[in-house]
């Protein structure tokens, strides 16, 4: 069984244009809070980049270069 974090990571890898927490939540059918925790862990590991666009935060696979 894959973890929620692995599911979020796989989804971001397949969407190079980036996704918001709400989009990830809807696509994976898990709560926004669960997505936020997984994204925080991935960001802490340097595996994702987060870009602010207005009020939205787009999450991308790939850490800071």
pLDDT in tens, 11-60: 999 999 999 999 999 999 999 999 999 999 999 999 999 999 999 999 99
Q: Check: CATH 2.40.50.100 for 4-61?
A: no
Say what the pLDDT of residue 54 is: 93
Helix (H, G, I), strand (E, B), or coil: what is residue 42? helix
Q: Do the Cβ atoms of 43 and 62 come closer than 8 Å?
A: no
Regarding pTM above 0.85, the answer is yes
The pair of three-digit structure tokens given for residue 20, joined into one six-digit string? 């918001």
More confident of the two residues 8 and 63: 8
Query: Which residues are paired to 61 by β-bridges?
Result: 48
Burial state string for 28-37 with b = 16 or more CB within 10 A and e = fewer than 16: beeeeebbee
Angle at 18 between CA 37 and CA 7, to 5 degrees: 45
């Amino acid at each position: 069984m894959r973890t929620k974090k692995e599911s979020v990571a796989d989804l971001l890898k397949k969407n190079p244009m980036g996704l918001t927490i709400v989009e990830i939540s809807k696509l994976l059918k898990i709560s926004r809070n669960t997505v936020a925790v997984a994204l925080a862990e991935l960001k802490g590991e340097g595996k994702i980049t987060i870009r602010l666009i207005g009020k939205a935060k787009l999450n991308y696979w790939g850490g800071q270069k």
